Amino acid sequence: MSTTAQRSLAGLPQKVSVVEVGPRDGLQSEPKFVATDEKIGLVNGLIDAGIRHLEVTSFVSPRAVPQMRDAADVLAGIDRTRGAVLTALVPNTKGAERAVEAGVDAMVVFMSASESHNLKNVNRTRQSSLDGFKDICRIGAEAGIDVYGAIATSFGCPFEGDVPVQSVVDIAKAYRDMGITVLSLGDTTGMATPRLVQERCRALADAVPETDIALHFHNTRGVGLVCVYAGLQEGVTRFESSIGGLGGCPFVPKATGNICTEDLVYMLDECGIETGVDLAQLIAVSRKAEDSVGHMLPGQLMKAGPRLEVHSMDAVATANG
């Protein structure tokens, strides 16, 4: 648990929920299959570190996303005694039925704010996606399982450029009308800026005040945590991130990974914002994740360590002269 004793900076929330999406959003584009037991170990390690909201897999076609072919087995192996909320992405009714059978705590439906990216990402029009979600919400309601909504390309599209804020608002309203009250704005393309974050957060606060907004940033242009800070200033208390900075949308040119969970927690700790996460344990999990995927991850804190980590003076050479 965070040891930060200072009060949160003026105007910022005192407590934030960190939603870990690495086991799904991070691993899905990894070319090497990560063994099921390693995925389970990753999730259990994250829960041990204090993460209480995790997107652990997706119930998609194994042909489309081979990395997620063990979705039910992963869920079956996770320690469910710690009170963590485990969610899974579902693209259609078949996926929703499999997710219910596997015992997810919540299902996540997703679509893009731009028509062109939705066609590339799921090969459907936006309206077709929305029409399909109604059946998923029905399946969720019958099983007593919540359905969350995600909007990809909420801050910009690689094929269309700027995405009108009204497009995001219209989808958010459609979600609300289906009974979806948790909504994630996805910065799939890494095009978010503080100004766009402010604009969209304020528009949604006016249009769907009953909806709990989460922000999901990628660090493609190096301003992911700056956008988090902009969201904090707007009162957002739910942020999605990926351990080690894993991830990157395969349907976005030049895409890079999500903001890094341990980097996010470090920044929140230093702002005096409580997360309930043990940073040292989180860094250890990040290093294990790097071993699992077999290549260096972009997270900074796992390399540099926390600000007040001290070193022996013998660790570096003494200057001559």
| Amino acid, single-letter form, for residue 46 | L
| Distance in angstroms (rounded) separating the CA atoms of residues 58 and 80 | 18
249 is catalytic: yes
Among residues 88, 169, 85, 72, the alpha carbon closest in space to that of 136 is found at 88
Q: Residue written as tokens 């999406």? A: 21
111: β partners: 151
> For residue 72, is it left (φ>0), alpha (ψ between -120 and 50) or beta?
alpha
Among residues 62, 18, 47, 67, the alpha carbon closest in space to that of 225 is found at 18
| Contact yes or no for 236/202 (Cβ under 8 A) | no
Neighbours of 274 (CB within 10 A): 15
> For residue 258, is it left (φ>0), alpha (ψ between -120 and 50) or beta?
beta
Catalytic residue among 137, 201, 227, 249: 249
Can you say whether the dihedral through the CA atoms of 162, 110, 44, 290 is positive or negative? negative
Report, as residue numbers or ranges, the catalytic residues: 249
